[in-house]
Amino acid sequence: MGKKIKKETESPPKDVFDPLLIESKAPETVVLMLSSPENEVLAKACDALYKFASKDDENKLTLLRLGALEHLYKLLSHEDPIVRRNAVMVFGIMASNYDVKKLLRELDVTNSLIPQLVPEEDVVIHEFATLCLAHMAVEYTTKVKIFEQGGLEPLIRLLGSPDPDVQKNSVECLYLLVQDFQNRAAVRELNVIPPLLGLLESEYPVIQLLALQTLEVISKDRETRIILGQNKGLDFLLNILENSELSDLHIETLAVLGNCLEDVHTLQLIQLTGGLKKLLSFLEVSTVPGIQKNAAKAITRAAYDAEIRKILHWEEVEKFLLNLLETNYDEVKVAASQAISAMCENIDSKSVLGLQGIPQLVQLLSSGNEEVKEAAVTALSNLTTASPRNASVVAEAEGIEPLMNTLNAQRDGAVANAIAVLSNLSLQEPSRVAIRSLGIMRALAGPLHSTNSQVQSKAAFAVAAFGCDADARTELRNAGGLGPLIKLLHSENEEVRRNACWAVMICASDELTALELCSLGALDILEEINLSTKHKNKFSEAALEKLLDNNLPQKYSRMGYLSSSNIITNGFYDCGQVKHGKKFLSLEELSKQELTDRRAIIFINAK
């Protein structure tokens, strides 16, 4: 900020009279001269201070300490144009310093500078007043002041100034101001789009860049995108992309176009004029990682809209995304995987991406980069959800083992989505057997201990999906997975609690697992859940019933009756009704108790 872009203003403008050398080199003396009644002395003092402050930050702080700014502030409204101009120049150069800016805010200097932006004012005043405002607009309270003091309109007008330094400072100031939503709406009303588009044709790259950065911020608003389309702004942007000499501006240009992709109306306009095809053709040949990454991110944002997904599919955006998975840059692979996830919501895209993209995504699971791994497995999760065909492709691409390895990833998102893919694959018997053979239940014991609700939910769901096999339940029991599963019944997260109830219901299918679940307190927790209208769900009721049906002594003790479907076998015992909250003792624990005069315990042993 503050660097000049034209040579003719490198030195301060010459006055109409011969310059008088200020003999004193001491800044203290020059500051005292700011109180002189003579205009010529004032102008020369300001000129000397400008040169002194231009040298370094230390000199700016010296002038601050000497109280120069308070004197100069009074000169901003001086009747003599040369004195006023030179004073504004000092403020422009001084405002780059943080401590100076603090005092300028206290002096409310913006209120004195904004009126100086009128068309009839000296171009040098325009240059340094806008420079000072650009330095100060970094701070939020100054943004508000410039807005309230009517600074937006003159700044927009000065975008059309014949002076490139004025253009640059004005657009830089506007770029900082539009970071605030209120100012974005205001500049739109003041018709900022045409002059900004005009700056794209500037011969100075820094001005073009600032204009694009400003357009990128304001085009986040739908109303601005519509105005951009009406002013043929999309053509301007596509022309920049087609010009290889402007390659330095391509990333920022794409950022603006990326915002336009998020709007159906604007996207249809680009498509009808052939611009979308042109844009994708440009992207397909580009090898610049920044461009590839930003393009994929723009597609991700745009693809949240069903209509936009349809248009992108028609234009075969999938081909571009699949090519990006082949790059050598991790950030590009991440962005491409995320875009694939978003495009999966379109059923036709899901089919295309699944068939061609799954083998590449499976390879990315072995990446040393955790972010790549997470993005790839998330894409696989989206691709295989409700798609048996894509689930088969994962198995055919030898994805099961890498997915099992991903259960040990460092990122919770990667673990949760790896579990989700394995659960999706479990619906097909060959894949289910293969996953079981690699010890899925043992591997799930770790994620069940996670503190992340997404991991907890997916892990409990997977226990339910794979727990239908008796061997799987034994494996989970031996791996110590039942304890953390029961703890999930206490979760405040509804999905976690529901999936945990489901998993308990599945695991309670055999007597040994049911007994252990009961000994770990599952029955009491489920009864408590079922008493709460807020926490109760169909799985909590079914889980309680299943647990009791596979632990008949405890069912009889609690309920006082058995169902017609309950078959008593060897090992059944009746120890009488146990009060709520009291521990139900096993046969072994009862046998160790001393004899009492209470009713006998009935034990069935037909052997």
Contact 214, 175 (CB under 8 A): yes
In a domain, 322, yes or no: yes
In a domain, 6, yes or no: no
Single-letter amino acid code for the residue at 227: I
Q: How far apart are CA 465 and CA 400, in angstroms?
A: 16
Q: What average pLDDT score do residues 237-265 get?
A: 93
The answer to whether residue 579 scores a pLDDT higher than 90 is: no
Q: How far apart are CA 298 and CA 490, in angstroms?
A: 41
- Please say which residue of 345, 370, 387 terminates a domain: 345
Range 517-521 contact pairs with CB under 8 angstroms and sequence separation of 24 or more: 517/482, 517/486, 517/547, 518/547, 518/551, 518/554, 518/584, 519/586, 520/482, 520/483, 520/486, 521/486
Contact 397, 434 (CB under 8 A): no
| Residue that the structure tokens 């009491």 belong to | 524
In a domain, 540, yes or no: no
The pLDDT of residue 516 is 93
Q: How confident is the model at residue 559 (pLDDT cuts 50, 70, 90)?
A: low
Our CA dihedral for 470, 471, 477, 482, rounded to 10 degrees, sits at -50
CATH, residue 341: 1.25.10.10
Structure tokens at 113: 């500078």
| Residue that the structure tokens 């607009």 belong to | 137
In a domain, 314, yes or no: yes
In a domain, 601, yes or no: yes
Q: What H or E segment, with its residue span, contains residue 522?
A: helix 522-531
pLDDT, tens only, 414-433:
999 999 999 999 999 999 99
Pairing assessment for the beta strands 602-603 and 573-574 based on DSSP bridges: antiparallel
- Please say which residue of 345, 367, 393 terminates a domain: 345
In a domain, 400, yes or no: no
| Residue that the structure tokens 């239908």 belong to | 468
In a domain, 449, yes or no: no
Q: 544 or 590: which carries more pLDDT confidence?
A: 544
Q: How far apart are CA 502 and CA 520, in angstroms?
A: 17
The answer to whether residue 347 scores a pLDDT higher than 90 is: yes
Sign of dihedral through CA atoms 490, 495, 500, 505? Answer: positive
Q: 356 or 550: which carries more pLDDT confidence?
A: 356
The answer to whether residue 10 scores a pLDDT higher than 80 is: no
Q: What H or E segment, with its residue span, contains residue 603?
A: strand 602-603
Q: 157-185 in b/e burial notation, b at 16+ Cβ within 10 A? A: ebbebebbbbbbbbbbbbbbbbebeebbe
Q: How far apart are CA 257 and CA 269, in angstroms?
A: 12
- Please say which residue of 326, 345, 364 terminates a domain: 345
- Contacts with 450 (C-beta within 8 Å, 6 or more apart), sequence order: 412, 415, 456, 459
Split into its structural domains, the chain has a count of 2
The pLDDT of residue 477 is 96
Give ∠ CA 157-158-159 in degrees, rounded to 5.
Answer: 90
- Range(s) of the domain holding residue 580: 552-606
In a domain, 537, yes or no: no
Contact 528, 536 (CB under 8 A): no
The pLDDT of residue 597 is 63
pLDDT, tens only, 112-127:
999 999 999 999 999 9
Q: What average pLDDT score do residues 99-106 get?
A: 96
Q: Percentage of residues in the chain with pLDDT exceeding 70?
A: 87
